[in-house]
Amino acid sequence: MIPVILSGGSGSRLWPLSRKQYPKQFLALTGELSLFQQTLRRLDFDGMQAPLVVCNVEHRFIVNEQLSRIGARPQSLLLEPFGRNTAPAVALAALRLVAEGRDELMLVLPADHVITDEPALRKALELARSAAEEGEMVLFGVPATTPETGFGYIKAGRNEANELLPPGAYRVTQFVEKPDAIHASEYVRSGGYYWNSGMFLFRASRYLEELRSHDPDIYDNCVLTFERSQAKDDVVVIDPGTFELCPDNSIDYAVMEKTARACVVPMSAGWSDVGSWSSLWDVHEKDHDGNVLKGDVVAHDSRGSFVHGNSKLVTLIGMQDVVVIETKDAVMIANKNSVQDVKKLVGKLDELGRQETQSHCEVYRPWGSYDSVDNGKRHQVKHITVKPGAQLSLQMHHHRAEHWIVVSGTAQVTCDDKVFLLTENQSTYIPIASVHRLANPGKIPLEIIEVQSGSYLGEDDIERFEDVYGRTPAKIGSEVVG
């Protein structure tokens, strides 16, 4: 069984913590590990192979770093230039396995879900394995115990006498879109309905057969895209020109709602998709007033609320059932019953061209990270951290000069034809148009303050000459700081 981890989502419903360049699957929302890392950790047992990870090419270095932190190594990393939903993503993963002569069972999992009962998960997996080995298209259903309107529902029917399903697996008779509150309540009362977890198990060739039968446009495009993609070792860079023409569709719409072989395996494993602030409130321990308070937060006469402070003191007085999320550059306040509309809010911010939906003040790069401290019309200040042994690209700016002040660690500086070291409290000046590079030759993180000044401070003012991380000139406009 091969886990196929889908890590391409943007997690916009958890804005402002989740941003497009650093979405929710990479955030530690329910513990010390990120949701992505938790997903990998719970699959670390006998009978489960190393994962195949599908992610956006812009998240490649985040994925690699989070994998290395927990000592995990994927057998393949598929880099999508942009998202086309889950049906194409899984098709590319299946084509990768089949091309290697490995027609094995694919356990398809979103990277951003919470599962608290791992023994129950393994029990469901074993039941699903029996069905998938017989050619069934298995999805995992969570028993619908409350009238949730944010989930899709699955109705399980009675198995016919001629059904070859193992005991405990049921034929799917109906897929239901996210219902209103009245219909959701009816589903819970009637029984036999499950929340669609977005988790699937099937053989690689079986999925491709069903996709070719029910959505040939996606199948044909993915075959051509895979043929034109670049593969090196365990990394596959998906061809953007072909993939751009691929229809955008989910596994549910493209295959599962059309196939006659869809079956559901019940899974009562403490599952949550943590798809909203209210669901994140659900999975956390509460104080005696039913509040979840994270960070520097003080609440008075307030109940049933979720408050997350990041950079400053947050206080709450006389509030009930609210969500307050504070970051360095944004504050969101919402009624807990309206948090499904956060995605609509993010859409409005995108229409206004607000960068707060794209990235945090602190931005992660393969060499480390930087934090925007201050900016004005002709100046910008950043706090830069470079990991031991890492280095930024050799580069030049046409419109800005930079001052570097070492806060801690040792910096190796290249400036035109000079290479020299700086230690704590030392500084240097990088003139406009100088070819320069910053590196950390030490064994502890290097921290510097960078003061930029000039007529244009846009991050597209960078000409890159050398880069150990393989970032190409064509991607300069999307790369930031080194």
Q: Is the pLDDT of residue 469 over 90?
A: no
Predicted confidence (pLDDT) per residue in 316-358, tens digit: 999 999 999 999 999 999 999 999 899 999 999 999 999 899 9
Note the pLDDT tens digit of each residue in 200-224. 999 999 999 999 999 999 999 999 9
Say if residue 480's pLDDT is above 50: no
Residue 159 reports pLDDT greater than 80: no
pLDDT tier for residue 42 given thresholds of 50, 70 and 90: very high
- pLDDT of residue 164 exceeding 80: no
Two tokens at 335?
A: 């009624």
Q: 265 by DSSP, 3-state: which?
A: strand
**What is the per-residue pLDDT for 233?**
87
Q: Determine the pLDDT at residue 162.
A: 55
pLDDT score recorded for residue 142: 95
User: CA 382, 386, 391, 393: dihedral to nearest 10 degrees?
Assistant: -20
What are the structural domain ranges in the chain? Answer: 2-272, 277-348, 362-478
Q: What is the pLDDT of residue 163?
A: 67
CA distance 84 to 245: 9
CATH superfamily membership of 362-478:
Jelly Rolls (2.60.120.10)
User: What pLDDT score does 373 carry?
Assistant: 87
Provide the residue count of the chain: 482
Least confident of 2-16, 160-174, 338-352: 160-174
Instruction: Characterize the bridge pairing of strands 297-300 and 314-317.
Output: parallel
Q: Which CATH architecture has domain 2-272?
A: Alpha-Beta Complex (3.90)
Q: Residue 474: what pLDDT? A: 41
135: phi then psi, degrees, rounded to nearest 5: 90, 10
| Strand-strand pairing, 170-176 and 153-156 | antiparallel
Average pLDDT over residues 19-43: 94
Which residue is associated with the tokens 């937060």?
297
Each residue's pLDDT tens digit, 244-265: 999 999 999 999 999 999 999 9
Band (pLDDT 50/70/90 cuts) for residue 160 is: low
First to last CA, the chain: 40
Name 29's Cβ contacts closer than 8 Å, sequence gap at least 6.
Answer: 14, 17, 35, 274, 280
> What percent of the chain has pLDDT above 70?
96
> What pLDDT is attached to residue 476?
35
- Residue 96 CA, chain-centre distance (Å), reads 21
Q: Is 201 exposed, middle or buried (0-12, 13-18, 19+ CB in 10 A)?
A: buried
Tokens of residue 450, six digits: 């960078």
Q: Which residues of 38-48 are buried (b: 16+ CB within 10 A; e: fewer)?
A: bbbebbeeeee
Find the mean pLDDT for residues 289-307. 97
Average predicted confidence (pLDDT) for the chain:
92
* Res 161: pLDDT: 56
List helix spans (H) across 199-315: 204-214, 216-228, 240-243, 251, 277-283
- pTM > 0.85: yes or no: yes
